[in-house]
Amino acid sequence: MASFAFHTYGCQMNVRESEAAARALQEAGLTLAADEAQADVVIVNSCSVRGKAEDKALGKLGLLCATKRERPGRVVGLMGCMAQRLGDEVFRRVPMLDFSIGTRCAERVVDAVEAALAGRKTLAMRDLHAEPTALSGHLEDGSFSAFVTILLGCNRRCTYCIVPDVRGDEWSRPASEVLAEVRALAERGVKEVTLLGQSIMNYGLRTPAWTVADPPSPGGYTLPFPRLLEAVAAIPGIERIRFTSGHPAGVTEELIRLYRSEPKVCHHLHLPVQSGSSEVLSRMRRGYTREQYLEAIAKLRAAVPEMAITTDVIVGFPGETEADFEQTRTLMEAAAFDNAFIFKYSPRPGTVSATWEDDVSEAEKARRNQVLLGDQDVRGARLNAQLVGSEQEVLAEGPSLRNKARWSGRTSANKIVVFEPPEGIRPGDLVRLRIVRAAPQTLYAF
Ligand code: SAH
Ligand code: SF4
Ligand code: F3S
């Protein structure tokens, strides 16, 4: 019986899809390899968001294909966003590749693997404007936390972004399907779900006609996003709900009320800002100004003072001046972000901004990146220090990586806490702990 392994790049949506594809392969009789080096079939799940992400996946495919010289029967496959973007060109770039599967057709993985084991190549692509089928199913790994994709694709079309091209039109999964998936997870012992979507608060807003026109059951309808959160919270066994990514336009009064009324919804929001300059934001076509972004945050914090807010920032967008960059610095301070992911702008083929001159030098992008990371370290340490003395509810994850005698877990605000495990504790238990000291990335309860 052939064994398989996944090598996954990119966002949580890819992690989720690798898991679902792995489950489908297991159901077809393949086994999960103990490690990648031993696997008969290795599948790279790829990301296209920056040039570097593609370079990594192509490099990895090259290395994997080289192992076929010693192991001629070995299968190397590709799926995900880069597979979608490159189409059949990928076989020119990686001639020894056995299959390539685009987005929205991950269920083709079983056929592709079987064909490859029989010596045939597969290229599977699907119309990204057509109704997708979300592949469901998770590995039975005893995990207490799981991702659930609720919104596929993206309609926002920020000028720098390849995601709408590789993930297709926005599509809300029927609420009945989402709730059934969460119920199945809860029955398996999952306590925490993270709902996924590129612009997740658009869930249920721009529902394509065919989702509501011919509902297979009353539950075939979607719900407004806050109502979906309530319905997920009502599922027995689910203790915590997270979701990502947010957009300021989705920070509505209704959502804010829900944060206050529904204790299972975690006090953390990932709200990518991208830039602090309204002029840059406008050229990015983000759909908000600096002031509107800060206003959304102020409303959230007024309602839920302990709300942690994290973000994504792009440095070196075409035309970003030193003054624009300073605006990003001051916005990040004003927003008091708990954490931030900083990316150097990377022009993506076919996007609007790729037609503009990439006029900030690589060295200057690297400098701006370092400045923001330095600021964030100081800010993160300061915000964590403020939590010393507080009592926090922590979802226990298991022994800490550094010291197996200690355990780690996360607070509702997604802060990592290291603690001494009480007798009989199991992963997935909720424990109340007093924070006694803080480091920039970690809180300690002992
Ligand atoms: N849908 C999410 C983001 C998905 S992509 C949102 O809009 O919030 C994840 C992050 O990658 C983005 O937030 C952005 O900061 C970064 N990113 C996207 N395209 C990029 C590009 N061309 N160059 C550099 N960073 C990019
Ligand atoms: Fe890309 Fe913008 Fe959509 Fe996010 S909202 S996936 S950045 S187009
Ligand atoms: Fe990358 Fe595709 Fe996610 S481009 S960030 S893996 S949606």
- Tell me which ligand sits closest to the C-alpha of residue 84: 3
- The reply to whether ligand 3 has any atom less than 6 angstroms from the CB of 166 is yes
Phi-psi region of 168 (alpha: psi -120 to 50; beta: other; left: phi over 0): left
In this predicted structure, the answer to whether residue 130 has a pLDDT above a threshold of 80 is no
Q: Integer distance in angstroms from the first to the last C-alpha of the chain?
A: 48
pLDDT at 211: 43
In this predicted structure, the answer to whether residue 132 has a pLDDT above a threshold of 80 is no
Ligand 2 nearest-atom number relative to CA 247: 5
- The reply to whether ligand 3 has any atom less than 6 angstroms from the CB of 48 is yes
- The reply to whether ligand 2 has any atom less than 6 angstroms from the CB of 433 is no
Taking residues 192-218, what's their average pLDDT?
69
CB 137 within 8 A of CB 154: no
pLDDT at 222: 72
Q: pTM of the prediction?
A: 0.95
Ligand 3 nearest-atom number relative to CA 162: 4
Instruction: Choose one of 343, 352, 355 to mutate for the ligand 1 pocket test, by most ligand atoms within 8 angstroms of C-beta.
Output: 343
CB 248 within 8 A of CB 208: no
323-379 pLDDT, tens digit per residue, is: 999 999 999 999 999 999 999 999 999 999 999 999 999 999 999 999 999 999 999
Would you tell me how many other CB atoms lie within 10 Å of the CB of residue 95? 8
Query: Measured between alpha carbons, how far is 248 from 201 in angstroms, rounded to an integer?
Result: 9
